[in-house]
Structure 1
Amino acid sequence: MDRYLPLKANATAISVLVIDTDVDTSHLLENALLRIRAGAGLLEALASNSLQPETMADLYRLILSAYLPIQDGLDLLEQLRPQP
């Protein structure tokens, strides 16, 4: 297994953000929870507001803002799964 694994969500074909798989698992877990909480908090805020037709143009930016930290958190959690 490679020590540094790229995050799945990238702006380019070359990954510049990576996960250090040699760190203590508690660090991976805490970072995963932080990112998932951030994404979930944004989704909760969006769910509690009714979007108006004029704000629909911003919907992609809002979805991306929630997706990125959640995907990063999932990537981190994947490292905590037992490897076969």
Structure 2
Amino acid sequence: MTKLNVPGNRYRQLRTNFTDTHPLVIDTEATAEDIQCAAHQRIRAATDLLETFTCLTYEHADLKDISHIINALYLLVQDGCDLLEAAQHVQLRPAVDNPIHPNQPHS
């Protein structure tokens, strides 16, 4: 995944950004659990949308409606994948970058 400026930067770009300013980014200093929760929300929304469409027929669907649906699904799934990748990197960070808090058990 592309990062802003230099490696180790706090913010990671989402692949769904289509501008040079990258208004949507992932905060890599967030906890892995929070990043995974955001990923889950997006993947769950895409799954719910797909489940809804399995119950419908496309006989009366307009081509532009289908492209809108595909675009929404792409954004949700790609953002979810980007978030999962970021969460994995947060979990794999060396212990120096991710210190164990006194109340956490050592694993």
Alignment TM-score, normalising by the size of structure 2:
0.69
Q: Say yes or no: does 1:58 pair with 2:65.
A: yes
Q: How does 1:11-22 map to 2 (within 5 A)?
A: 11-22=18-29
The CA distance in 1 between the partners of 2:68 and 2:19, in whole Å, is 18
Alignment TM-score, normalising by the size of structure 1:
0.86
Q: Say yes or no: does 1:44 pair with 2:42.
A: no
RMSD: 1.6
Higher helix share: 1
Runs of 4+ displaced beyond 6 Å:
none
Query: 5+ unaligned residues in a row in structure 1: which ranges?
Result: none
Q: 1:6 to 1:64 in 2, by over 3 A?
A: same
Aligned pairs, how many?
Answer: 83
Corresponding residue for residue 30 of structure 1 = 37
CA-CA distance at 1:70 after TM superposition: 1.2
Task: Give the % identical residues.
Answer: 35
Query: 5+ unaligned residues in a row in structure 2: which ranges?
Result: 1-7, 94-107
SS of the residue aligned with 1:19? strand
